[in-house]
Structure 1
Amino acid sequence: MAGVAGTAALAQMPADRAAATPRPSGGEYPFTLGIASGDPAPTGVVLWTRLAPKPYEPGGGMPARRVGVRWEVARDEGFRRLVRTGTAWALPELSHSVHVEVDGLDPDREWFYRFRYRDDVSMVGRTRTAPTATAGIGALSFAYASCQRWDEGYFPSYAHMVREDLDLVVHLGDYVYEYGIPADGGFRRTAVPEQLRAAPRDLDQWRMRYALVKSDPQLQAAHLAFPWMVTWDDHEVQNDYANTRSQYEGDITALRLAAYRAWYEHQPVRTPARPGAQGPRIYRRLRWGRLAQLDLLDGRQYRSVPPCGWGEAPACPGQDDPSVTMLGTDQERWLYDGFAHTSARWNILGSNVMMGRLDHDGDAGDLLWHDAWDGFPAARRRLTDAWVRHRVPNPVVVTGDWHSTFVNDIHRDFDTPGSPVVGTEIVGTSISSNGDGEVYGPYYGPMMRYNPHIRFFDGDRRGYVRCHVGRDEFRAELRMVDTVSRPDAVESTLATFAVENGRPGAHRV
């Protein structure tokens, strides 16, 4: 894996325009997995594609050599006003994926981009740059999503998302799932080729799993429409894993290396996310003028093994050990330094798992879900203490993972009665995972009486959260579809919550 960093650097080098670039076997269209942009900055974005004319074969149907791919950025959708162009290498070591870090663009405006390989031209994508750090307060509209298990439903929420006027999409993990897929496609009721059914264990299998998910036309459309910021959760490797440890098979270092490499090959992310000897770094920060700072976390790669047990288990003294960490020492230091120097009115934290407490049994005991921040209360207190110590304005946590919706007050210390509310969390449900019908409502619903800080709960719907951030208010609309058994599902707004500037805690509007 140490050699992958070098190949990623090579992929950024300009390709020789005169170099031979053989056509893929059979001459099929190479952009079957779509194109995408991500990680916007004031002067640029990342552009991504992967050449895969035969995406469900090892090598994707491409020759085992590097090939040149041309990229173009324009001010207009017709590409009459080109502003940046170039040619980059697509390397077989990186599954012929391309990550172009475009720079030199004007801030705070939309752009259009596309790729060319030989005689084939990709679809056209729309992206945008962020405002400069000193720009006025302005506004930010974004959506966030998570948990899109392919065989448990279609992705109709993305079809509705593309109709929104958004600046950004944030994906909080579980982009793919590591489980086997039934021959009939599960909820999708479509035949699945045999090579795609097994739970992925090696790099080729992980590549094919990403190819299957990224072949979804509604997901491709959402990538075309907006720049994305993507992090991962557990299912990009294995359910509930912690660092290199699994409750099912112990050390999963080799599995994790293959999974992380495939993740990088299929996401529009910058160079630090490439796999290397020290592992990829995917936690990062987006500043949206003086309005908002978004810190996107990696809550898997560095976490301790939950000291009190995997999953649902009683609390224990070991969870208060200060050495127990969710984020790791370096990421914590980076995060708190960002808190100390933020000049943003709204400080948004992108978390892969729920930060708010969920007491399962009230006075009867202390049963918690230890894969979430409940399993790491000392680490959670360090974070909330940092909010208070640095007087961080308006902390709002946006979260995925649970396949349910929660709106939570975040107390400085959930174990201290009367501890003040210092932030707000909105947990979004899944895009498709768990499919239709009652899922978690009957199980978690009765627990709400033990958790007065949970302002809202719904456990049985699929969808995403649309957010509008303005000078005086952070508004979150819970967008839900009526089914994931069809790609043309109807969408509605289940509820809308707002956080007012200077007042932690959300209220329903």
Structure 2
Amino acid sequence: MNGGIDRRRLLGYGGAATAAVMLGTGVFGAEAAQAYSPKGENLFTLGVASGDPAPDGFVLWTRLAPDALAEDGFGGMPDKRVKVDYEVATDERFRHVVKRGSAVASRELGHSVHPEIHGLQPGREYFYRFRAGGQISPVGRTRTMPSRSSTPRSLDFVFASCQAWQDGYFTAYDHIVEDDPELLVFLGDYIYEYEILDNNKRGVDVDPKFGTECFDLARYRLQYSFYKSEAPLQRAHAAMPWIVTLDDHEVVNDWAADEVAYGRHPNPDPEEFAARKTAAFQAYYENLPLRIDQRPSGPSIQLYRRLSYGRLATFSMIDCRSYRDVQPCRKLGPAECEERYDPNRTMLGTEQREWLIDGFADDESRWHILGNQDPITETDWDATEGKNVWLDPWDGYTAERATILEAAQHPTRNLVVLTGDRHQNYACDLKQDFTKDDSPVVATEFVTTSLTSGGNGADMDDLGRTFLSANSHMKFYNNQRGYVRVNVDKHRWQSDFRVLPYVTDEGAPVSTRASYVVEDGKPGPQAD
């Protein structure tokens, strides 16, 4: 068995899907594989990926799909279990292979594999590749985290979110690869569940089979294949390890635990919605470099987890969808919503909240990085004396927000929140109490715009002017597409807001629109 995977947990899963998970991770041998010879077809059309790096290893990913856009969602693969070998080396030519093994790709998991690699050296670069059916995959590059007791000099990474295919090209990923970060944190909306039609902002014709919304497993699988066929996205996965979480569109817009409050499908039938979540979570797991601990169990998935970058930084990745109370005041406007102040309302659920707070208490790193989906900062979009907020983000869960921010102050040294979802760039002070002007600044939040969602955007718009007027804690606003590049050392954090002037055509350049820094021990962003 690969080290680090608890066999007792595996034996408790049960069923054919469990066997597929175990075979796909390489926990069990490849004896169950069947002979398979592809007929001149490329098995690795969806590329390779790695994720969730640890000091001694990472998880690898690929999915066999000679006909990735087959309408049945099976990627052109027969109903066979196929042996997939992998190699990990210290050099790109694989002269010095340090790990070899096999996993089994099966139909139950869309012929994806997720082998977990252990026993490597901390803080160093590795290369990997797969073999199946006599073919060799593209080469991927990844790296391990530094040892937990080490104090790395610095860390360079990128965070991003929201890549609606129909809204533009994935050019930003080419620039991310050129920036050469050590890892990428993806904060949700990897796909959008919506139908894709000929009226997309790319201005290209789309096969009619993409013209339906995702509800079942075959359609979710097809959507992932469509997105993952994009060359810039494949290059970014192959260039660095990813740390991922989901938001709403991997399932359905604005879902909350077992409900949908708004949008096209409010108040769904519970059994139908459970089936939809089951399909969505399985497709999510099948298509991303996730460890066995993140494998879904029916309509449930555990994505909150913690990763360390030595004593320099700790990443706490949270899930703001699976455990939350439904958004408040569905029958009232947000300006009238007293329910959002209810001390019993939760975004995280009891177990996840306690896990997060315990992590703050035990953290000895210089920077605690919270990978979060929906803005924690208050965003008042009423520039007059009134207050009008969106209720899907943390503004609908104010008591728990205050609890989290209070818990993070001691002994956590520097809390920096990374957020997606909003399709806009922000740099914000996080206050202990947003109802009081003199409330102290206790942490920092950087919100990244979308990679494509929303189309081209603009540097400033009417909403931005309102936000900057109504929210004194908001130091920066921008409404272009892009991502955020981060450099952090023990003294200073720097976020560069990288933006593209357009995404509806290919080849857009990138520039740094603004840079904001946080000094060790001084919460709140300052313009660089």
| CA drift at 1:310 | 8.4
Please list, as runs of the form range in 1=range in 2, the aligned pairs for 1:282-301 lying within 5 A after superposition. Answer: 282-301=303-322
- The match for 1:448 is 468
Which one-letter code corresponds to 2:186 in the other structure? H
Q: 1:70-93 deviations in whole A, cap 9, x for unaligned? A: 011001000010000111011110
- The match for 1:150 is 165
- The match for 2:227 is 213
Which one-letter code corresponds to 1:316 in the other structure? C
Work out the CA distance in 2 between the residues paired with 1:102 and 1:363. 56
| CA drift at 1:65 | 2.1
In structure 2, relative to structure 1, the CA distance for the partners of 1:27 and 1:421 (3 Å cut) is same
2:444 paired with 1:424? yes
Secondary structure in structure 2 of the residue aligned to 1:56: coil
Q: Is the 8 A contact 2:155 2:487 kept in 1?
A: yes
Q: Which one of the candidate residues 307, 311, 324 is aligned to 2:345?
A: 324
- The match for 1:132 is 147
Work out the CA distance in 2 between the residues paired with 1:2 and 1:367. 49
Q: Which one of the candidate residues 83, 86, 92 is aligned to 2:101?
A: 86
Which one-letter code corresponds to 1:7 in the other structure? A
Which one-letter code corresponds to 2:523 in the other structure? P
Q: TM-score normalised to the size of structure 1?
A: 0.96
Q: Is the 8 A contact 2:382 2:388 kept in 1?
A: yes
| CA drift at 1:21 | 2.6
| CA drift at 1:20 | 2.9
- The match for 2:5 is none
2:514 paired with 1:501? no
- The match for 1:41 is 54
Work out the CA distance in 1 between the residues paired with 2:166 and 2:333. 26
Q: TM-score normalised to the size of structure 2?
A: 0.92
Q: Which one of the candidate residues 227, 250, 258 is aligned to 2:267?
A: 250
In structure 2, relative to structure 1, the CA distance for the partners of 1:372 and 1:50 (3 Å cut) is same
Work out the CA distance in 2 between the residues paired with 1:178 and 1:166. 29
Work out the CA distance in 2 between the residues paired with 1:492 and 1:168. 20
Work out the CA distance in 2 between the residues paired with 1:98 and 1:166. 25
Q: Which moved more, 1:227-236 or 1:189-198?
A: 189-198
| CA drift at 1:315 | 4.8
Q: Is the 8 A contact 1:2 1:277 kept in 2?
A: no
- The match for 2:392 is 371
Work out the CA distance in 2 between the residues paired with 1:2 and 1:362. 56
Runs of 4+ in structure 1 over 4 Å off = none
Q: Is the 8 A contact 2:340 2:395 kept in 1?
A: no
For structure 1, list consecutive stretches of 5 or more residues without a partner in the other structure.
none
- The match for 2:64 is 51
Q: Which one of the candidate residues 395, 403, 409 is aligned to 2:423?
A: 403
Please list, as runs of the form range in 1=range in 2, the aligned pairs for 1:84-483 lying within 5 A after superposition. Answer: 84-183=99-198, 186-247=200-261, 248-251=265-268, 252-277=273-298, 279-309=300-330, 313-388=334-409, 390-438=410-458, 441-459=461-479, 461-483=480-502
Which one-letter code corresponds to 1:453 in the other structure? H
In structure 2, relative to structure 1, the CA distance for the partners of 1:306 and 1:15 (3 Å cut) is same
In structure 2, relative to structure 1, the CA distance for the partners of 1:50 and 1:288 (3 Å cut) is same
Secondary structure in structure 1 of the residue aligned to 2:212: coil
- The match for 1:22 is 36
In structure 2, relative to structure 1, the CA distance for the partners of 1:53 and 1:278 (3 Å cut) is closer
- The match for 2:79 is 64
Which one-letter code corresponds to 1:96 in the other structure? H
Secondary structure in structure 2 of the residue aligned to 1:134: coil
| CA drift at 1:7 | 2.7
Which one-letter code corresponds to 1:393 in the other structure? R
| CA drift at 1:284 | 1.0
Secondary structure in structure 2 of the residue aligned to 1:337: helix
Which one-letter code corresponds to 1:384 in the other structure? L
In structure 2, relative to structure 1, the CA distance for the partners of 1:5 and 1:279 (3 Å cut) is farther
Work out the CA distance in 2 between the residues paired with 1:497 and 1:480. 14
Which one-letter code corresponds to 1:45 in the other structure? F
Which one-letter code corresponds to 2:42 in the other structure? Y
Q: Which moved more, 1:325-334 or 1:481-490?
A: 481-490
| CA drift at 1:28 | 1.1
Which one-letter code corresponds to 1:465 in the other structure? V
Work out the CA distance in 2 between the residues paired with 1:67 and 1:119. 11
In structure 2, relative to structure 1, the CA distance for the partners of 1:162 and 1:387 (3 Å cut) is same
Secondary structure in structure 2 of the residue aligned to 1:384: helix
Secondary structure in structure 2 of the residue aligned to 1:339: helix
Q: Which moved more, 1:441-450 or 1:336-345?
A: 441-450
Q: 1:428-472 deviations in whole A, cap 9, x for unaligned? A: 10100111144982234223211100001112x100000001010
| CA drift at 1:483 | 1.1
Q: Is the 8 A contact 2:327 2:392 kept in 1?
A: yes
Q: Is the 8 A contact 2:278 2:298 kept in 1?
A: no
| CA drift at 1:63 | 1.0
Work out the CA distance in 2 between the residues paired with 1:311 and 1:412. 26
Count of aligned pairs between the two proteins: 505
In structure 2, relative to structure 1, the CA distance for the partners of 1:230 and 1:452 (3 Å cut) is same
Work out the CA distance in 2 between the residues paired with 1:282 and 1:312. 32
Secondary structure in structure 2 of the residue aligned to 1:199: coil
For structure 2, list consecutive stretches of 5 or more residues without a partner in the other structure.
1-12
Which one-letter code corresponds to 2:113 in the other structure? V
Q: Is the 8 A contact 1:309 1:370 kept in 2?
A: no
| CA drift at 1:364 | 4.0
Q: Is the 8 A contact 2:277 2:299 kept in 1?
A: no
Q: Which moved more, 1:54-63 or 1:312-321?
A: 312-321
| CA drift at 1:160 | 0.6
Q: Is the 8 A contact 1:31 1:50 kept in 2?
A: yes
Work out the CA distance in 1 between the residues paired with 2:464 and 2:281. 32
In structure 2, relative to structure 1, the CA distance for the partners of 1:76 and 1:272 (3 Å cut) is same
Which one-letter code corresponds to 1:443 in the other structure? L
In structure 2, relative to structure 1, the CA distance for the partners of 1:312 and 1:229 (3 Å cut) is farther
Which one-letter code corresponds to 2:221 in the other structure? R
Work out the CA distance in 2 between the residues paired with 1:16 and 1:97. 14
2:49 paired with 1:32? no
Q: Is the 8 A contact 1:406 1:454 kept in 2?
A: yes
Q: Is the 8 A contact 1:312 1:369 kept in 2?
A: no
Secondary structure in structure 2 of the residue aligned to 1:178: coil
Which one-letter code corresponds to 1:149 in the other structure? A
Q: Is the 8 A contact 1:361 1:450 kept in 2?
A: yes
Work out the CA distance in 2 between the residues paired with 1:187 and 1:399. 25
Work out the CA distance in 1 between the residues paired with 2:309 and 2:336. 39
Q: Is the 8 A contact 2:33 2:81 kept in 1?
A: no
